[in-house]
Amino acid sequence: MTRTGVFVAALLAAGTIALSPALAKEFTVTQKGQQFTPRTLTLKVGDEIVFINDDTGTHNVFSESPGNAFDLKAQRPGSKTNVTFSAAGQVDVRCAIHPTMRLSVTVE
Contact flag: residue 44 with Cu ion (CB under 5 A): no
Q: Which residue of 36, 43, 49, 59 would you call a contact of Cu ion, by CB under 5 A? A: 59
**Out of 41, 43, 72, 95, the residue judged to bind Cu ion by CB under 5 A:** 95
Residue 45 touches Cu ion, criterion: CB under 5 A: no
Least distance (Å) between residue 17 CB and Cu ion: 40
Rg of the chain over CA atoms, in angstroms? 18
Which residues, 6 or more positions from 9, have their beta carbon under 8 angstroms from its beta carbon?
Answer: 1
Check residue 79 for interaction with Cu ion (CB under 5 A): no
- Report how far residue 25's alpha carbon sits from residue 47's, in angstroms, rounded to the nearest whole number: 5
Distance between CA atoms of residues 4 and 72, nearest Å: 41
Residues that bind Cu ion (CB under 5 A): 59, 95, 97-98
